[in-house]
Amino acid sequence: MTIYLPTLTAHWLTQETRYKVVEAPPAQPQLWRVVHDVEMLDGNWRAGLPEVHRLLPFHHVVLTEEIQWLWREMNPDMTSVKFCKLFGNKLAFTNGSGFPGHANYILGEELDQPDPRFDQARICGGAVVAEKKHDDQYVWIETIDVRKPIPSAEYVMARPWLYYHATLAGDIIRMFPQGEGKPVYVPLLSALSAQAGVDGVKLPRWKLQKWTKPELPDPYTVYI
pLDDT at 42: 86
The mean pLDDT of 164-172, rounded to a whole number, is 97
CA 65, 71, 75, 79 dihedral sign is negative
Q: Is the pLDDT confidence value at 7 over 80?
A: no
**Average pLDDT along the chain:** 89
Q: What is the pLDDT of residues 62-115, one digit of tens each?
A: 999 999 999 999 999 999 999 999 999 998 999 999 999 999 999 999 999 999
The mean pLDDT of 22-50, rounded to a whole number, is 88
Do the beta carbons of residue 111 and residue 59 sit within 8 Å? Answer: no
Look up the pTM and report it: 0.87
Pick the residue with more confidence: 192 or 58? 58
The mean pLDDT of 146-155, rounded to a whole number, is 96
Q: Is the pLDDT confidence value at 203 over 80?
A: yes
pLDDT band at 195 (very low <50, low <70, confident <90, very high): low
